[in-house]
A = this chain, B = another copy of it.
């Protein structure tokens, strides 16, 4: 039966983290549903997960639980991170790489009907869809937790979880720091979500460093101003490199410049993170990237200890475990 998006979960048995008993989560749909308290709870579980070793009772915490990934567009990286999280906790995964070919969808079945069927087989559904709003639609029909793994130009809330968790792990705090968001700030849902979530924390200063054609949009800027976040648009990345604790680089997406190849080339070459730039950065800082990268971070940076992007990818595992643990055990 359909259930409200945010419900108070029932009692949790034999899993040693009472903290999430009070977590008002039922589904993970959008960044806006998190607050500092719920993020802290998930991060606490995620940190516990980092220590889980094969063969221990913790590695069997979700023994017998079944998760289904339902991917209407391929995203192997995202799918594997969710499936790995489940596997590391002893659960089982039913996997679909291309639910778009799901014969039922082709025959005109609604997403809601598909969800009502799959929930008969799984304790939790990870949904990736090409249409914004799909995750909310799925959650409205579902009696098991829905985890939104990206719905078109809409939300990708688990990426925001991973990013914030990574910042905390890398620089040791979530307040009183400066972040530079770089690259395609207009179309990247990742940076938009991240800016939103970071606004919850005390004294986070933001620099937006983007080619003209893909600047941060007004809605986010206005929101930040409204909640008192200090932000500034800058043109020269090297001018702020020495000041930022977190440099969050993103890919210029070629597909956004279809009819303007010259603009693409210009935007693409504009901000590159290379050894020269790294030399300007603080000793204690981190370079992040949601991946995949193309040329916007030079390979020479990979061996720098401040290159955090592959650790960030791996954090997807722990954040996923945290989220799944919370949802399935309290669901």
Contacts and interface: CB of A to CB of B under 8 A. Distances in A.
A121 B63 contact: no
Interface residues of A, number: 53
Contact of A80 (B74, B94, B113): B94
A103 B100 CA distance: 15
A76 B73 CA distance: 14
A219 to B, nearest CB: 26
Interface string A260-291: 00000000000000000000000000000001
A327 to B, nearest CB: 15
A120 B107 CA distance: 36
A104 B120 contact: no
Interface of A: 53-55, 59, 63-66, 68, 73-77, 80-81, 83-84, 87-88, 92-99, 101-104, 107-109, 113-114, 116-118, 120-122, 251, 291-294, 310, 313-314, 316-317
Given A97-B98, A116-B310, A104 B68 contact: no
Nearest to A143: B310
Contacts of A316: 120-121
Given A63-B55, A76-B96, A310 B120 contact: yes
B65 A54 contact: yes
A148 to B, nearest CB: 17
Given A55-B63, A66-B87, A117 B77 contact: yes
A125 B54 CA distance: 18
A107 B292 contact: yes
Q: Rank and list the top 6 A-B pairs by shortest CB-CB distance, nearest first.
A: A54-B64, A120-B314, A109-B292, A84-B121, A104-B292, A87-B92
A64 B74 contact: no
Contacts of A97: 96-98, 101
Nearest to A95: B95
B77 A87 contact: no
A74 B88 contact: no
A292 B314 CA distance: 38
Contacts of A120: 81, 84, 310, 313-314, 316-317
A151 B54 CA distance: 31
15 contacts: A54-B65, A66-B84, A74-B103, A75-B103, A76-B96, A77-B104, A80-B118, A80-B122, A84-B122, A95-B95, A109-B291, A109-B293, A116-B310, A117-B313, A120-B316
